[in-house]
Amino acid sequence: MAIRCLVMLVLTTSILVLGNLPNISGQSECAPDIGAVITECEQYVVKQGPKIPPSKACCVASKGVDLLCFCKYLTREIEKIISFDKILYAANFCHVKIPPAGTKCGSKSFLSS
């Protein structure tokens, strides 16, 4: 329960930061509905727990997500909670476009698929 609260705090803070940057809206820049992405996909990308296929609701919420956009805002604090490998797994499962190999995402880089 504490991990879930911490994840929600970090993700909510990230959304607020995105929303407060000049000329940047986290909802329109990185995802059509960031709230739905967080609500539906959180359990599939946190470090804690096994890697499991995302739900249909998560995949629907992920349509139109721009991973490269999110990568610009992936901090070390968020990386402590979110699993990069699980993000890639969920993105591949839901057919979300993966940035090209070598593209930086926080402290990680995308590999060729």
Q: Which residue has the higher pLDDT, 52 or 32?
A: 52
CA 67 to chain centre: 7
Q: Average the pLDDT over 73-101 and give the result.
A: 91
How large a percentage of the chain has pLDDT more than 90? 42
At 112 the pLDDT is 63
Confidence of residue 25 (pLDDT cuts 50, 70, 90): very low
At 11 the pLDDT is 52
One DSSP character per residue, the chain reads -HHHHHHHHHHHHHHHHHHHSTT--HHHHH-TTHHHHHHHHHHHHBSSS---PPPHHHHHHHTT--HHHHHTT--HHHHTTB-HHHHHHHHHHTTPPPPPTT-EETTEEPPP-
pTM above 0.75, yes or no: no
What are residue 104's DSSP bridge partners? Answer: 109
